[in-house]
Structure 1
Amino acid sequence: LICEAYDLMKSLGMSQKEMADTFTEWNKGELDSFLIEITSSILNYKDKDGYLLERIRDTAGQKGTGKWTAIAALQYGVPVTLIGEAVFSRCLSALKDERVRASKIIHGPEGKPTVQNKAEFLNHIKNALYCAKIVSYAQGFMLMREAAKENGWHLNYGGIALMWRGGCIIRSVFLGNIKEAFTRNPQLSNLLLDDFFKTAITKNQHSWRQVVSNATLWGIPVPTMSAALSFFDGYRAERLPANLLQAQRDFFGAHTYELLGQEGKFV
């Protein structure tokens, strides 16, 4: 998510100093976290040849934690879409030579990204990052809850949030809000249903949609922000087009289906 925000800033022509200052400012509010803090430091870092970041090869490695989480999500049937997209983005980054060749052959939208008010759009990026971060944690806690159900675990979700805040790379002020949500309702099925997080997304989702739609029109990949938004819209939908999917499954494979109002009875 932070890398996508950085990429959008670069596309608007911001200097590393401007980007570093922006992340420093963001770290004073609801995005206050270890990762935002170090992003500012990385952007500011210079060696004898100048700023280092733009000289680092854009291929990201991985130790396996994201992959394990994505595999667990599939095993438990939980839509942890944001982490999945983050893992696939690393895989795509590893195709550096192929991407270089493709960049000379396949072309996207013409023209450079432009906005009428850069300060306003930067605020949109900040809000989009915040909303997507909420979804990321919501999905993560969904996975833990399902794993606990399957394995007979009794997890203290608020305590887990405090443990993370105490010392790991995802430590942030935000985790305190999660602890408070589970204190209010220990049986909370999804963070998106908590009043604090529901209000936060309601307030900021316009920014989120502005960022994802503009990035798409500009041809700038934002896989995790867009995956988070798609999950949010799917989660809040009373009906999804899965009825057609199930009808197709029955048509080609006789998988049967349930009728509305007759749940549990397969035809």
Structure 2
Amino acid sequence: MSGNQADLGVLGMGTMGASLALNFADNGGFTVALGNRTTEKTYGVRDDNPELAERLVPTDSIEHFVSTLKSPRVVVLMVNAGKPVDDQMALVLPHLAPGDILIDAGNADFNDTVRREKAVKPTGVHFVGMGVSGGEVGARNGPSIMVGGDQAVWQRLKPLLEPIAAKFDGSPCVDWLGPDGAGHFVKTIHNGIEYADMQMIAEVYGILRDAVGLRPQEMADIFADWNTRDLQSYLIEISSLVLAERDPETGGALVDQIVDEAGQKGTGRWSVIEAQKLGVGATTLEAAVSARGISSRRAERAEAARIFGGVKTARAEFHADHEGLAELEAALVAAKIIAYAQGYATLTEASKEFGWNLPLGEIARIWRAGCIIRSRFLDDITRAYEAGDVVNLLLAPSFTSRIEGAQEALRRVVAKASLAGIPVPALSAALAYFDDYRRARGTTNLTQGQRDLFGAHTFHRLNREGTFHHKWPQA
């Protein structure tokens, strides 16, 4: 191919970058320049996909990569978060011109996105932070895409992004969400909710395995049944698939051969850190991140199990009959509502703090297909925001009735699990948040009294306006 014929370029031919490039070429019908630190990969992506070869342009240097692009150029970075992004930007920016668009489509700390946009702005190049959710399959076949940056630039990107995005009822799951780091922030909270959802599913799996004694295939059938009602979602669907899969080596369930140690790449932690900085109690998300950390300490856990013992199955009161399974299903529904409420409370506060004016109902809409947390549940969130202002999802009428009907099941599940020694940190955190949120008169009046005693931090009174400091007796 001669120069200046590629519609856009993708830098980074890892799993996600290669999949996204193929999506652009296949579903978008675009000619895509391929760039990578090791140039062999760019040719490999083309050669491994002969049906798309005429729309894939492997390159062997940054100069070659940029020279293939139509002007104004669009460059999509899909590399690991942090220094690799800065390194690639430093390589490609000197070859770009005012009006070109540089997109970071990887997972990124939104604070880095804000910093990078400010640094790039004087060059005249437009920097865009773009969240992409859906994993390898989504990137290849249609992800959910969360765009941040200059709204005028979004108008130029729409014709490139709408064809490759997931579709829900024919509508592309992509939109501009706000300036600078808004897109990456929303993706971060998406991942925090994802962590919580996965952890709560794992906790229910633990109850069914350790307290009820079910086999993986039996649990697979239960999750498949739950996927036909309120819990219908990608994560419930794949839970059933994972539990049903057989191990080709042993012939047993593959899940029984997988080490109980969950990895994490940082977005879950970022979601919790940002929630804390904003003063939002995202406790269910925090419990999920913490649980992954504890899972990595396998040797310590084995020693603690030896010293303290494990699950007290004799005290477990869980059953696999219709009533017992319905209780677990309802508990998971209630906890899921609370986790989403915490995620959306974080988005609401960030929107105010950073002046983003995030379209909260639109966020739920573009999450309905392509992304990891896609579910029937998101339709309800979209409708709740369409119906009017939502202070907190727990106060939205459609969710109020559902949480009222399900919270007692969550309470019973947490209580029984606690008595049996079965850890349910995310389910417990969801329940505690709900109870704390619905209590009109809490206990932090004592906390504030303590703060005033030792630090003169003052307090407010119930019976009159103003700020007060009391002369307390000293201990």
TM class, shorter-length? over 0.9
Q: Secondary structure at the match of 1:165?
A: coil
Are positions 1:46 and 2:246 aligned together? yes
Report the CA distance shift for 1:252/1:7 in structure 2 as closer, same or farther (over 3 A).
Answer: same
The residue type equivalent to 1:84 in the other structure is E
CA–CA separation in structure 1 for the residues paired with 2:412 and 2:334:
12
Instruction: Name which of 101, 124, 132 aligns with 2:335.
Output: 132
Instruction: Name which of 280, 283, 291 aligns with 1:78.
Output: 280
- Deviation per residue, 1:12-67 (Å, 9 max, x gap): 11111110000000000010000000000000001221211011111111011110
Larger Rg: 1 or 2?
A: 2
Are positions 1:189 and 2:388 aligned together? no
The residue type equivalent to 1:125 in the other structure is L
Offset at 1:262?
Answer: 3.1
Report the CA distance shift for 1:85/1:105 in structure 2 as closer, same or farther (over 3 A).
Answer: same
Structure with bigger helix share is 1
The residue type equivalent to 2:219 in the other structure is M
Q: Quote the residue 1:7 is aligned against.
A: 206
The residue type equivalent to 1:68 in the other structure is W
Q: Quote the residue 2:355 is aligned against.
A: 152
Higher mean alpha-carbon deviation, 147-156 vs 36-45, is at 147-156
Q: Quote the residue 2:92 is aligned against.
A: none
CA–CA separation in structure 2 for the residues paired with 1:179 and 1:87:
27
CA–CA separation in structure 1 for the residues paired with 2:427 and 2:349:
24
CA–CA separation in structure 2 for the residues paired with 1:229 and 1:259:
29
Q: Quote the residue 2:376 is aligned against.
A: 173
Q: Secondary structure at the match of 2:308?
A: coil
Unaligned residue ranges in structure 2 (runs of 5+): 1-199, 470-475
Q: Quote the residue 2:225 is aligned against.
A: 25
- Deviation per residue, 1:167-223 (Å, 9 max, x gap): 1000001000000000111x2110111111000011111211110110011110101
Offset at 1:266?
Answer: 3.2
Q: How many residues align?
A: 266
Unaligned residue ranges in structure 1 (runs of 5+): none
- Deviation per residue, 1:129-166 (Å, 9 max, x gap): 10010011111111011001011111111110011112
Offset at 1:115?
Answer: 4.0
Q: Quote the residue 1:237 is aligned against.
A: 439
Percent identity between the two aligned chains? 45
CA–CA separation in structure 2 for the residues paired with 1:115 and 1:74:
35
CA–CA separation in structure 2 for the residues paired with 1:110 and 1:184:
47
Q: Quote the residue 2:128 is aligned against.
A: none
Normalised by the size of structure 1, how large is the TM-score? 0.96
Are positions 1:36 and 2:239 aligned together? no
CA–CA separation in structure 1 for the residues paired with 2:216 and 2:464:
59
The answer to whether the 8 Å contact 2:319/2:325 transfers is no
Are positions 1:123 and 2:326 aligned together? yes
CA–CA separation in structure 1 for the residues paired with 2:420 and 2:321:
15
Q: Secondary structure at the match of 2:372?
A: coil
Higher mean alpha-carbon deviation, 242-251 vs 29-38, is at 242-251
The answer to whether the 8 Å contact 1:109/1:217 transfers is no
Q: Quote the residue 1:257 is aligned against.
A: 459
Normalised by the size of structure 2, how large is the TM-score? 0.55
Q: Quote the residue 2:365 is aligned against.
A: 162
The residue type equivalent to 1:9 in the other structure is L
Q: Quote the residue 1:227 is aligned against.
A: 429
Structure with bigger strand share is 2
Report the CA distance shift for 1:100/1:117 in structure 2 as closer, same or farther (over 3 A).
Answer: closer
The residue type equivalent to 1:6 in the other structure is Y
Q: RMSD of the TM alignment (CA)?
A: 1.4
Offset at 1:252?
Answer: 1.7
Report the CA distance shift for 1:263/1:23 in structure 2 as closer, same or farther (over 3 A).
Answer: farther
Kindly report structure 1 stretches of 4+ aligned residues shifted beyond 6 Å: none
